[in-house]
Structure 1
């Protein structure tokens, strides 16, 4: 028999390799720059999608062709950033020219009440708009400073003019505030005449029905009741026309008084921080007060 005790260790049978454990659901996925970058790209795409959806909602909800202070106050900060992309805003002298044209058009249509001037501050040109109820100073950067109703009216105008997609209308030649004596008593006279004609027809129809009911024995109460209804409707329409005319006259007179106050003033109101066509330091203090309010 062969002695196996002297067999060398090298002749011993080789050990079988141990199979690696199968991948389980708890195994961590790939890590490193690629994994982190993929997550960041996915988050960026989600943010861009949200911004696009918000921009579409803002464009459908707001009418930027008739964008006013009430719309501006109603917009949230997120809606403002989505609607107005800062990278595409117009600035510099081009912005001032666009604001100048837009304001002249709005002054001509009475959407803005104020005197428009070009002034200077720190050697740069500014646009000044003032009235008896406030003022606003527009910088080439798009910043608007001031106080009162003029400031609230001017801010949305500057925002629209800074948008490259907004078409600024061409102002008329005679865009300035009218002379007080040239302001008509009221507007919409044609509409008042139409309502008066309808009211007269109602009154005549009601009177005819009442007379017919009194003279002829119609044997029904429908005719006199309808006659009374027609008379009441006619009287109501006449009263509505009278109230509209009184309101128009009141607004026209108020507008004329404001025009006279601006024309009779020998210089700008004291709260306007401009002297000899140059903006003074008082503008910054007024702006701080307006922001605190």
Structure 2
């Protein structure tokens, strides 16, 4: 009988060891591929030319890291200039409601945006702190301005908030007139069909039925135009009231931590608490 006690165990084939050593190096390319795939999906899913707070809230942490590469972010005075131009453009188009100022903190320049519903302070590092709806609106704007691939539009000369008396009653009057014309045509057609059915014995119910349908459509369109005009007037009046409140206030709102163009200790304390969180 053959003695097998001294026989060594068979060695693993070299192919297996080669595969095991190859697993490590291939993991990094796989990770890079996953990041690229995630970045492509984010770019196709989100419109960064119209990136807003709702989009920012929907993005996960992985999507945020894939879309915004921290190594390519713009900081310093260049970031403040880009944010300044972007905010002026958005204030001019009413995408942002607020007063824009340059303030200082610890000897460095900051951008302050405030309204009757909150404020935001932007630092050269891209940090944004504040409260209210202004903070919610400003955060995605700063993120966009920090991207080198994003082209900041040139703000118009008269970018500041308008005078309350210069705000029109509503917008889209041409569209309302077009809808009114269509509604009038529907009413006239319906009335004509009903009159024709009453005067001449057409011997069918199709004409009066269509006349009633045309009348109902016309009335509905007139009601829709009236509702749109009332909504425009309400929004315009609300906008004018907010403008008057800012103009009549001789000083910044009490919740804005800025005095004499300098961020106070209250604002600095809020920044420290944000970092701790």
Calculate the TM-score normalised by the size of structure 1. 0.83
**1:78-128 C-alpha deviation (Å, 9 max, x unpaired):** 000000000000000000000000000000000000000000000000000
8 Å Cα contact 1:147-1:290 kept in structure 2: no
For residues 48-101 of structure 1, the C-alpha deviation after alignment (integer angstroms, 9 at most, x for no partner) is 010000000000000000000000000000000000000000000000000000
Question: Given the superposition, is the C-alpha separation of residues 48 and 213 from structure 1 closer, same or farther in structure 2, using an over 3 Å criterion?
Answer: same
Deviation at 1:291, TM superposition (A): 9.3
Higher mean C-alpha displacement, 14-23 vs 260-269: 14-23
Instruction: Give the Cα separation in 1 of the matches to 2:178 and 2:15.
Output: 110
Deviation at 1:159, TM superposition (A): 0.3
Deviation at 1:288, TM superposition (A): 7.4
TM-aligned CA distance change 1:164 to 1:217, over 3 Å: same
Residue 203 of structure 1 corresponds to which residue in structure 2? 187
- Between the aligned partners of 1:115 and 1:60, the Cα distance in structure 2 is 34
Matches within 5 A, 1:206-221: 206-221=190-205
Q: Across the two proteins, how many residue pairs are aligned to each other?
A: 276
Structure 2 partner of 1:31: 26
| 8 Å contact from structure 1 (residues 69, 155) kept in 2 | yes
Give the SS at the match of 1:4.
Answer: coil
CA offset digits 1:211-252 (Å, max 9, x no partner): 000000000000000000000000000000000000000000
RMSD, aligned α-carbons = 9.1
Separation in structure 2 between the aligned mates of residue 103 and residue 8 of structure 1, nearest angstrom: 76
Other-structure match for 2:12: 12
Q: Is the 8 A contact 1:116 1:127 kept in 2?
A: yes
**Do the aligned partners of residues 10 and 102 (structure 1) sit closer, same or farther apart at CA in structure 2, a change above 3 Å counting?**
closer
1:19 Cα shift? 27
User: Computing the radius of gyration over CA atoms, which structure comes out larger, 1 or 2?
Assistant: 1
8 A contact 1:91–1:140 mirrored in 2 = yes
Superposed, 1:139-150 pairs within 5 Å as: 139-150=123-134
Alignment-derived partner of residue 3 in structure 1: 3
> Counterparts of 1:5 and 1:200 in 2: how far apart (Å)?
106
1:23 CA displacement? 22
Contact 1:142/1:158 (8 A) holds in 2: yes
Q: Supply the distance in 1 between the matched residues of 2:174 and 2:254 (Cα, whole angstroms).
A: 42
Where structure 1 has 5 or more consecutive residues not aligned to the other structure, the ranges are 25-29, 34-45
1:14 and 1:134 map into 2 onto residues whose CA distance is: 67
Aligned-partner Cα distance in 1 for 2:254–2:191: 61
C-alpha deviation, 1:12, in angstroms: 38
Cα distance in 1 for partners of 2:12, 2:95 equals 104
TM-aligned CA deviation for residue 281 of structure 1: 1.6
How far 1:11 sits from its partner (Å)? 37
- The answer to whether the 8 Å contact 1:147/1:287 transfers is no
Provide closer, same or farther for how the CA distance between residues 208 and 122 of structure 1 changes in structure 2, counting only shifts above 3 A.
Answer: same
